[in-house]
Chains A and B, each alone.
Chain A
Amino acid sequence: MTMNRHEPFEELISASLTDDLSAVERQRLDTHLDSCAECRATLAAFADQRRIMSGLRHVGPPRDLGARVRGGIERGRFATLPWWRRPAVIFTGVGGGLAAVAGALLAIVLLNAPAEEAPVGAATPSPTPVVSAEPTALATVSAPVFTQPPEPPATLPPVLTPPPSVAPGASVPPSTAAPTPPTIEPTAAPEASPEPDIYLAYTGPIESPTMAVLEEPGASPVAEVEPPSGPPVAAELSPDGQWLAYITQVGQRGTSEVRATRIAEAPTPNEPGASPALASEIAVGETVVLGESLAGSPFLERMAWSPDARYLAFTLADPETAEADAWLFEPANDPEPRALTDVGDAYAASWVAAKDGSPLLWISAAGDRPASHLHAISTQTSADAEPIDPTKDAIATAGGVFQPLLSPNGAFAIYWDGRMEQQEDEAWTFVQGGAPYLAAHDVTEGTYEFSAERLLFSDLDIGQDAFAAAAIAWGGDGDAYAVWDSRWTGRPQSFDDEATYPDQARVYFGHATDPRGLTRIHAIDAGDLRDQATVVDVKVSPTGRHLVITALRPLDGTLSEPMADLLLVTRNTGDVPDEVQVLASGDDGWFGPAAFAIEALVEAD
């Protein structure tokens, strides 16, 4: 690029308008202007421009701005936050009565077909793989047989990112094929039920809510929980069924609270050589508040129980500084949680069983280029534990991998890659090229490599337009997964005028062994949820074809209690609508999230 002879003077002209010139510069400019008509015209134009700008109409701020700021400070609520960081919206607002439930928008179709019967014809476009085997798929991830639909093309998009590097380890060849899980021998497993083991019920008046853990409607609560100041948005049941960890909104402060309630006694080992039960000094029914965190990021609402039920890993982001660190709760050893890291950018991801059976934890470091680090966990109490730097002394490190979510058998991983940034007072999020990837994850050889990765959404072009974040959950079958709250930052990539895609309001339901990846046709039916309902949480049943969805009803602008339905969705395909069963109606309060006690399907030998 060549600079014209006037350009240096244009900068001086510009600076002269605000008296940002030194005496020398002023003299130089004046001398030049005497002899340059073009620069005199520039000076006149810039001066006019400044005059026009300074004369712009002054607009008074809204009269209620002061009240809004005051209210926001009192409630810790920001105006431009997305809904999930706006608990106040649930409680406040103006006008309207309770939403009429007459003519309910929710299409509830109760069909009697048993879950085992997959009602899909081979020629019908199938957003869901048809499992020909009995869906007692707790035991196997290698058995599913899929019908091949005519659309979309079965070709997978090319791998768009370099394979994550795993140290130590050899380079991983890129592949466009679906990740192939290790062969896993079937083991005896109980027949999977589509209904959740438990769910939370947050009911009662705003001033004095109650919360309970229920197994089914009408039954006595499994536990009465000390009521939090806001409804629950995430829940995970420990594999041994003793503990329910959950995240609740904290009143109207834009933060959340991580809690754990002991809901059952330690199970009695019933087999010789079984691991000793994990007893705790915390009594059944007691709740431990594990910490307060910034709310609103799916990456922060991830809680992971170790396969042996000993540890809960979670992430807390300081509400003041937004610094995020991984935390650990080991109820059998210490009633207090402890900070696992103290680096400000660490997120707990997933557990994996080492070859000796001991739990290892993937911890992710957010950043311009995120990475994940695998660590062994030592049994220590909060009093004597020193936080670690996850980038040091890791068993394995995977560059370009953020918060890998491992399937229960550890064979698959869904992780994130892209460029991350942290905005002021907010959690880390992806700002460029952010997308989830599906990869194979080696547990059988103990290399813990991620390989054969491909974009999870196979029909999206990831570029400047990409994801900021999304929530993801695996099913207990180790194959099915769900994606919701997908925060696409670009223009929708709908292939037609039918619907926005990706759509933050929809749930996408896929299977790791489906060679098509996840596409727009994998969105569950729009009619499964009420119009304008918000998906709070999704759990995938161990059957691999059912979803349990906590759906917040549309806000009606009243001071009424929040209402969330707990729905069991049986995914159908083609022209067959999904079946939706209301497990608990939001007419009576907020129901969900639900939880399954997911056991590790395979332990490395």
Chain B
Amino acid sequence: MCAEDEVRSMAMPGSIPWDNAAMSRSSADTDEAAFARLFEEFSAPIYNYVLRMVADADRAADITQDTFIKAYRKLHTVTEANSTRSWLYRIATNTAIDDMRRRRMVSPMGDDAAAYENRPDQRPGPEAQVMASTLDERVQRALMTLRPNHRQCLLLSDLDDMSAQQIGEVMGLTYAAVRTLLCRARGDMRRALAAEGFAR
């Protein structure tokens, strides 16, 4: 199925970890089926996106869970004009941001940008990092040094292969703003990867 397919066109799910008997409400079978299909298609990519955002498996599971609960509640708002995928990622992004805000992981913006730039670097030295880490861990560590909005757009682009237009739908930004943000994110990530011992 194309990623941009609409919720309401989705067919009944196959074998997914979903108890249709428990879920079913007599008046909403169509929505239940559509939602089950939505879950089947997007639960894994959403979970991975969130996992890379927060770098914590338990939190990622919680955020993914909440994302789909919110999606279920808002299912009736999805129209033919909506991009279901972008809509779902937007919910996931907002839920993750909310979670990070609670935990004060969101970088201070605006007047506090300088404080963010001057935050202490608590990483171990580069040699220890390179010796001790797998490639995956090193990339994740580099990701976590980025501002959350840089991390979001980079993940949406490179992990989830979204276009600038789609990223804009998720993040509520214009096409031009996404291109600029993505360029800055790539620049920051380039430096972060270099700090992790990647060659270029």
Interface residues, chain A, with chain B CB atoms under 8 Å away = 10-11, 13-15, 17-20, 41-42, 44-46, 48-50, 52-54, 56-70, 72-74, 77-80, 320, 423-426, 431, 464-465, 489-491
Contact = CB atoms under 8 A, between A and B. Distances in A.
Contacts of A489: 101-102, 104
A69 B68 contact: yes
A72 B66 contact: yes
Interface in B67-95: 68-70, 72-73, 91, 94-95
B29 interface: no
Contacts of B91: 424
B95 A59 contact: no
10 contacts: A11-B179, A15-B183, A42-B190, A49-B189, A53-B155, A54-B159, A61-B44, A65-B61, A489-B101, A489-B102
Given A10-B183, A48-B200, A19 B65 contact: no
Nearest to A82: B102
A229 B18 CA distance: 26
A54 B59 CA distance: 22
Interface in B157-180: 157-159, 161-165, 175, 179-180
B193 interface: yes
B33 interface: no
Interface in B93-125: 94-95, 98-99, 101-102, 104, 108, 112, 115
Nearest to B162: A18
Contact of B43 (A66, A72, A464, A465): A66
A320 B72 CA distance: 12
B183 A80 contact: no
Contact of B19 (A17, A67, A320, A464): A67
A489 B106 CA distance: 11
Contact of A57 (B23, B136, B155): B136
B37 interface: no
Nearest to B47: A61
Interface of B: 16-19, 22-23, 39, 43-44, 47-48, 51-52, 57, 59, 61-66, 68-70, 72-73, 91, 94-95, 98-99, 101-102, 104, 108, 112, 115, 135-136, 139-140, 154-155, 157-159, 161-165, 175, 179-180, 182-183, 186-187, 189-190, 193, 198, 200
A215 B187 CA distance: 68
Q: Which 4 pairs show the lowest CB-CB distances between chains A and B?
A: A66-B17, A53-B158, A79-B62, A61-B47
A41 B193 CA distance: 15
B69 A73 contact: yes
A60 B44 contact: yes
A66 B16 contact: yes
B200 A69 contact: no
Contact of A53 (B17, B57, B139, B162): B139
Contacts of B164: 15, 18, 20
Nearest to B158: A53
B111 to A, nearest CB: 9
B70 A424 contact: yes
Contacts, number: 152
Contacts of B47: 59-61, 65
Given A80-B98, A425-B73, A491-B104, 10 more contacts: A11-B180, A14-B182, A15-B183, A17-B157, A61-B61, A65-B43, A67-B19, A69-B39, A77-B69, A80-B59
B163 A20 contact: yes
B159 A70 contact: no
B159 A65 contact: no
Contact of B158 (A42, A49, A58, A431): A49
B22 A464 contact: no
A299 B180 CA distance: 39
Contacts of A68: 61, 65
B136 A56 contact: yes
A536 B126 CA distance: 48
Contacts of A49: 158, 186, 189-190, 193
A424 B90 CA distance: 11
B51 A44 contact: no
A49 to B, nearest CB: 6
Most central of B17, B94, B112 by chain A CB within 10 Å: B17
Contacts of A320: 73
Contacts of B179: 11, 14-15, 20
A77 B17 CA distance: 19
Contacts of B68: 69
B180 A80 contact: no
A222 B72 CA distance: 43
A63 B165 CA distance: 33
Contacts of B182: 14-15
B142 to A, nearest CB: 9
Contacts of A59: 47-48, 51, 57
Contacts of A13: 183
A73 B66 contact: no
Contact of A464 (B65, B94, B115, B183): B115
A603 B104 CA distance: 45
Contacts of B139: 52-53, 56
B43 A79 contact: no
B70 A425 contact: yes
B46 to A, nearest CB: 8
Nearest to B193: A49
Contacts of B155: 53
A232 B132 CA distance: 52
A69 B186 contact: no
B66 A65 contact: no
Given A53-B154, A56-B159, A491-B104, A78 B136 contact: no
A132 B119 CA distance: 50
A70 B183 contact: no
Nearest to A424: B94
A80 B17 contact: no
A69 B65 contact: yes
B23 A64 contact: no
B61 A73 contact: no
B127 to A, nearest CB: 20
Contacts of A41: 200
Contacts of A56: 52, 136, 139-140, 159
A44 to B, nearest CB: 6
